[in-house]
Structure 1
Amino acid sequence: MGRFEPIAERDEALARVVLDAAFRVHSKLGPGLLESIYEHCLDKELTKSGVPFERQPLLAIEYDGEIIDAGLRMDLFIDKRVIVELKAVEQLAPIHEAQLFTYLKLTNCRLGLLLNFNVPHFKDGIKRVVR
């Protein structure tokens, strides 16, 4: 069995910035809005924080030695190290976690955050995914 490697402190620090920003968005807006609204507001909060990130970056897939551009997009890519997937659903489903895990694999990143804004208490909408 391989030895567990801890997540880099830089990645943990980036995740804390994202979570702080997401908590601010949720406390101002609450649940019940569309995912795109939360994404836009989180974009504004992250911009204020100064953390480098991309919103809706394309994710090309390599398959059988060929790059396939199928229009796959991640919600937020934080400093090319942490992936953030946003949801506004009644409850997170296993497919949401699987989607994020696949994004981690395709980008060779280790840490992802799955954030569901459609919850009364935002802490209940946070799922940390590690590859």
Structure 2
Amino acid sequence: MLAAIQADPNLPMQFQKAVLDQQAQFAQIAADVEKAELVADQANTAVVNQTMQVEAKADHWPTYAWRPFVGFCFGLAWIGAYFIIPLLRGWWPNNAQQSIPPEAWIAIGGVLGVASFFRGKMQSDARVTSDDRG
């Protein structure tokens, strides 16, 4: 192989060109996959938003109250985990400690905290029309 490369000086350039062409193809495939993932994420988000809007406009209280109920449950869990359990730690049997992964709280805070803040702000503004279902 070395003798063939030494005999034809164009072979190393052809090999390098083939490698670069293959790298360009891989980069194009990666870009296409990334675009497809973004399109799928956008479609998924649109479906979730549409579902939430339908639930919010539902006539039955369990349907439109479910998400706020879950939000309040997470809020109570957060208060319990970070305030009540540490206060009770001295009285807790065997000094047990509950460990909650920080990623769980980041997800809850990001989804419920921001969304609940803006939703509550919107609902408290008298200029925003709503159906006042409670």
Q: Shorter-chain TM-score category?
A: under 0.3
Higher strand share: 1
Structure with the greater alpha carbon radius of gyration: 2
**TM-score, length-normalised on structure 1?**
0.27
Higher RCO (CA-CA < 8 Å; seq separation 6+): 1
